[in-house]
């Protein structure tokens, strides 16, 4: 049932990012738009010692489970362990119906564990995209979105990429 699975995954284009909705914004990016932003940043910022191809593949796959479980944020009251369990269950089912499903599941699990240089870098790009998008929304609203940038800055230090947010 590959066609149906592809159509389901394309639903990420229709799924709004929950954090922006919670902030009271309208006309916001979809999960798919966010995933593209993450991949774009990763492509351009990937350090030479990190496997860019692996990062790009991971960027494409890292949010796929959200088509089933939604865009769960820290404010939703779902523990990290439960979020991972829900998303993993969704990814196992989705990936079982795709030609590159085994690789997609492997990349998702690598991303979730966040222990390889590639997964740590991509997690940082994920937050960097959020921070940059907050500037876009900040320019058209009075809502204070600085908390999104603070979250990204903390990860820059935590993941050991201090030069990433510098000019």
pLDDT at residue 162 above 60? no
- What is d(CA 91, CA 105) in angstroms, rounded to the nearest whole number? 6
Burial of residue 95 (number of CB atoms within 10 Å: 0-12, 13-18, 19+): buried
Percent of the chain with pLDDT over 70: 93
Q: pLDDT-derived band of residue 1, with 50, 70 and 90 as boundaries?
A: low
pLDDT digit string, tens, across residues 97-143: 999 999 999 999 999 999 999 999 999 999 999 989 999 998 999 88
pLDDT digit string, tens, across residues 6-58: 999 999 999 999 999 898 899 999 999 999 999 999 999 999 999 999 999 99
| Per-residue pLDDT at 167 | 44
Q: pLDDT-derived band of residue 74, with 50, 70 and 90 as boundaries?
A: confident
- Domains, the chain: 2-122 (1.10.3210.10)
Cβ atoms of 128 and 164 closer than 8 Å: yes
Read off the pTM. Answer: 0.89
> Rounded to whole angstroms, what are the CA distances from 24 to 12, 19, 140?
21, 9, 12
**Of 135, 144, 121, 131, the residue nearest 55 (C-alpha):** 121
Q: pLDDT-derived band of residue 160, with 50, 70 and 90 as boundaries?
A: low
61: which residues sit within 8 A by CB, 6+ positions away? 104, 107, 108, 111
Helices (H), the chain: 2-9, 18-22, 31-45, 52-61, 66-69, 80-95, 101-113, 117-138, 146-158
Percent of the chain with pLDDT over 90: 72
| Per-residue pLDDT at 88 | 97
């Amino acid at each position: 049932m590959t066609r149906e699975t592809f159509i389901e995954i394309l639903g990420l284009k229709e799924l709004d990012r929950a954090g922006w909705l919670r902030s009271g914004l309208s006309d916001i990016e979809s999960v798919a738009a966010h995933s593209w932003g993450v991949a774009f940043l990763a492509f351009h910022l990937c350090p030479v010692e990190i496997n860019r191809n692996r990062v790009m593949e991971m960027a494409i796959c890292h949010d796929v489970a959200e088509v089933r479980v939604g865009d769960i944020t820290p404010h939703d009251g779902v523990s990290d362990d439960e979020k991972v369990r829900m998303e993993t269950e969704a990814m196992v089912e989705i990936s079982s119906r795709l030609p590159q499903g085994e690789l997609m599941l492997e990349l998702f699990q690598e991303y979730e564990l966040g222990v390889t240089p590639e997964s740590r870098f991509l997690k940082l790009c994920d937050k960097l995209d959020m921070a940059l998008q907050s500037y876009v929304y900040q320019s058209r609203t009075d809502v204070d979105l600085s908390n999104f940038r603070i979250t990204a800055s903390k990860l820059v230090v935590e993941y050991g990429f201090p030069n990433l947010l510098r000019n």
